[in-house]
Amino acid sequence: MLSEKLHAAINEQINAELWSAYLYLSMSLDAESKGYKGVANWFYVQWLEEQDHARIFMNYLNSRDAKVELKPLAEVRTQWDSVLEMFQETLKHEKVVTSLINNLAAIAAEDRDFASSNMLVWFVNEQVEEEENARDQIFAAEAVENDKYGMYQLDKELATRVYTQASPLATAE
């Protein structure tokens, strides 16, 4: 049985993942409104991935006979000054998410809840990737700052990103 502390923290995490999804959808729509269709695609894929993250936690609570309780989503920002700023905010946000995941891992370890610790390994690794992806995009956006043609090329490159379902979902249902 999950401890009450971990159950509550995972419900909070579901909200954080859905809020992340909402944030990236907002970035996608802002980019789209400015004509950056590739950037919009990159954040749209991010939106889908964050929903996967929330779903993995929902499935996990269900499988442990613990109720999922959805909470209201806080408002998100709707406008950014540049593509670079979007990726900078992405990295900043992902660092916060990393600390939330680490906190969940610490509670599971305290509880000696090995099933939860195992489930969280995927998220610990995923956060390394999330931060690296954001850093890569900051590097790319910095390289083309004030270079319209470069930005055009970067936008085309970001248009090629495709969504693939998170592996725990592909094997879960």
Query: What residues line the site for ligand FEO (CB under 6 A)?
Result: 17, 20, 50, 53, 94, 97, 130
Instruction: Tell me how crowded residue 5 is: count the other CB atoms within 10 A of its CB.
Output: 12
Cα-based angle 150, 156, 159 (whole degrees, multiple of 5): 140
Which residue, 13 or 107, is less far from ligand FEO as judged by CB?
13
Distance in angstroms (rounded) separating the CA atoms of residues 26 and 159: 17
CB 13 within 8 A of CB 104: yes
Which residue, 20 or 137, is less far from ligand FEO as judged by CB?
20
The distance of closest approach from Cβ of residue 17 to ligand FEO in the complex, given in angstroms and rounded to an integer, is 5
Q: Tell me, what DSSP letter sits at residue 30?
A: H
The distance of closest approach from Cβ of residue 101 to ligand FEO in the complex, given in angstroms and rounded to an integer, is 8
The distance of closest approach from Cβ of residue 131 to ligand FEO in the complex, given in angstroms and rounded to an integer, is 9
Which residue, 94 or 155, is less far from ligand FEO as judged by CB?
94
Instruction: Tell me how crowded residue 171 is: count the other CB atoms within 10 A of its CB.
Output: 8
Which residue, 98 or 153, is less far from ligand FEO as judged by CB?
98
The distance of closest approach from Cβ of residue 150 to ligand FEO in the complex, given in angstroms and rounded to an integer, is 26
Which residue, 17 or 113, is less far from ligand FEO as judged by CB?
17
Cα-based angle 114, 117, 122 (whole degrees, multiple of 5): 140
Distance in angstroms (rounded) separating the CA atoms of residues 164 and 125: 16
Token reading at 108? 């599971």
Residue whose CB is nearest to ligand FEO in the complex, by number: 53
The distance of closest approach from Cβ of residue 69 to ligand FEO in the complex, given in angstroms and rounded to an integer, is 19
Q: How far is CA 111 from CA 67, 69, 100, 108, 121, in A?
A: 19, 21, 17, 5, 16
